[in-house]
Structures are given as structure tokens and as C-alpha cells.
């Protein structure tokens, strides 16, 4: 049976909102305080549609955001396309109180113009000064598991793209320990591309939850905290200077609060 019983947009949005809800529910099981995700809807001012921010600030998650958006605009921002567009996606970021627990970033998105449509996304891991080889190995093993049904060359290619994309030129190093990244996916096989895209989304929690299960039990010191805040500064530099999603959000007239949810609550230089 086709994965697209009605419109393509409707199927994509239903999946994204369901995935957002699953991630929020699993993350809340980790939170040591009574804090829960607070949802804030917003309207798109340069067209129609909007989105919903889901943000938590607690003892485990110093700040985390799991955001969904779906907007229709009149002029595509950037050079990838022209004219009116539809864009929808889920994007998340975590900034953990415990310095031994890494930041994780995840995004999957779908974009459409009158002439074409494509899929993109990925997830990547950024230890804030405390990389653990077993965490990196697990994270990448799950990423490979998500992509292996679609061909043996997909994971190595997407891993390489992540290493290239999440590179901080002025620091001369990658932002973290990598992950997977892809964009402009449209092979002409709609069902296959949608399945690959969903597989990335469906494997995200498997990639990160066991890592948090280990690292949130680690003890830490004030010196650890200082190193964490310094590395958060590097993270903020990348997101403000190089990240394409940040630029797309501002150029398209998105909600500034939702766009800047990726920034840490505290950082130092």
C-alpha cells in the first residue's frame, strides 16, 4: 500500500508531529525535576502556516527544544529554488546540565516548490569537552543501521557530508564527533526516499537515549562545567555564522525565538 494515501504534505506533516511527540515523551522520562516541555504555537507572518516550539528547562535538560514548523511562503529564500514554497520539519537541540552528557542535534525537513521537492536532515553528536569512544561508536552504529537498508554507500556518504558540514573553519575542527547529514534528496523513487527519511527519524532516539542513560549518572566538577561552557561557545559560533538552517529561518521570515532555540542557555569565551 502506498505511504501517501492523501496529499504528500499531509503525510509528511502527520509523521513529523508524531515523531515530535515521541521524542518529547522519551526526553521527559530523563528529566530529574518536575519540569516538562512547554509548547508555544506561532504564526508565519510572511505567508500562512506556522509552527510550535516545545522547550524544557530543568535539572537534566538545562535547555532543550523540539520544534515543528510548516509554512507556505511566496518567495523561496536562498538560491536552491525560486518562487513560492512549502517547508516543514522537526528540529531539536539539547543542552545538558551534566557536562559529561553531550549535546545532540537532530533535524529532518521536507521542502517543495511548484517545480520540485526534496528531503533533508540528519543527526550529530557534540560532546562538550568529554568525548567517549563507546558513545561515538554507538551513535554511528545506529546511524548506519538506519541507512543500510537503502544501500551500502549511503551511510559513508552521509557521514562524510556531516563531517564537511559541521566543520568550524575558524576553529579548524569539526563541531563534534559527527553523525549523518543529507539534503536535496530526490532520486525519483518517492516511496524509497520517504522511507529513508523516516528511517533517520525513527532511529534518532535509539542513537541518543542509551548515551544519556550512561552519562547522566557521571559525576562532574566546576572545572568540568567551565570546559563545557567554553565548548558551548564554539557551538554557538557555528550556529550563528555557518549553519544553513539558521540562515534559512531568518531569510524566510521565520520565528526568531524558534530559530535561536539552538543556542545554549549559558556559554563562555
Active-site amino acid positions:
105
- Displacement of CA 11 from its chain's centroid (Å): 20
Report the distance separating Cα 189 and Cα 254, nearest Å: 31
How far is it between the farthest Cα atoms of the chain? 56
- How far, in Å, are 27, 135, 139, 154, 268 from residue 207 at the CA level? 13, 9, 5, 17, 28
Report the distance separating Cα 55 and Cα 36, nearest Å: 8
Contact (CB, 8 A) for 78 and 248? yes
Report the distance separating Cα 238 and Cα 264, nearest Å: 12
Contact (CB, 8 A) for 92 and 124? no
The secondary structure of residue 247, as a DSSP letter, is H
Report the distance separating Cα 224 and Cα 239, nearest Å: 23
C-alpha cell recorded at residue 129: 569537552
**Which residues on adjacent β-strands are paired with residue 257?**
none
Give the number of other Cβ atoms within 10 Å of residue 225's Cβ: 17
Amino acid at each position: 500500500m502506498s505511504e501517501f494515501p492523501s496529499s504528500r504534505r499531509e503525510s509528511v506533516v502527520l509523521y513529523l508531529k508524531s515523531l515530535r511527540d515521541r521524542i518529547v515523551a522519551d526526553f521527559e522520562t530523563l528529566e530529574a525535576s518536575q519540569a516538562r516541555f512547554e509548547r508555544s504555537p506561532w504564526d508565519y507572518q510572511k505567508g500562512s502556516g506556522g509552527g510550535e516550539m516545545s522547550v524544557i528547562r530543568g535539572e537534566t535538560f538545562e535547555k532543550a527544544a523540539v520544534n515543528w514548523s510548516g509554512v507556505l511562503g511566496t518567495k523561496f529564500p536562498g538560491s536552491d529554488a525560486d518562487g513560492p514554497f512549502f517547508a516543514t520539519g522537526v528540529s531539536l537541540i539539547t543542552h545538558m546540565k551534566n557536562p559529561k552528557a553531550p549535546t545532540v542535534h537532530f533535524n529532518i525537513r521536507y521542502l517543495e516548490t511548484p517545480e520540485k521537492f526534496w528531503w533533508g536532515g540528519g543527526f550529530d553528536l557534540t560532546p562538550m569537552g568529554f568525548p567517549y569512544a563507546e558513545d561515538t561508536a554507538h551513535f554511528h552504529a545506529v546511524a548506519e543501521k538506519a541507512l543500510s537498508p537503502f544501500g551500502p554507500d549511503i551511510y559513508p556518504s552521509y557521514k562524510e557530508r556531516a563531517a564537511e558540514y559541521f566543520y568550524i573553519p575558524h576553529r579548524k575542527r569539526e563541531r563534534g564527533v559527527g553523525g549523518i547529514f543529507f539534503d536535496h534528496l530526490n532520486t525519483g523513487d518517492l516511496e524509497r526516499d520517504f522511507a529513508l527519511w523516516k528511517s533517520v527519524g525513527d532511529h534518532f532516539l535509539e542513537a541518543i537515549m542509551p548515551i544519556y542513560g550512561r552519562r547522566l549518572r557521571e559525576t562532574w566538577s566546576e572545572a568540568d562545567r567551565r570546559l563545557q561552557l567554553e565548548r558551548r561557545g564554539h557551538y554557538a559560533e557555528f550556529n550563528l555564522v555557518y549553519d544553513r538552517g539558521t540562515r534559512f529561518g531568518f531569510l524566510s521570515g521565520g520565528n526568531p525565538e524558534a530559530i535561536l532555540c539552538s543556542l545554549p542557555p549559558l556559554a563562555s569565551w
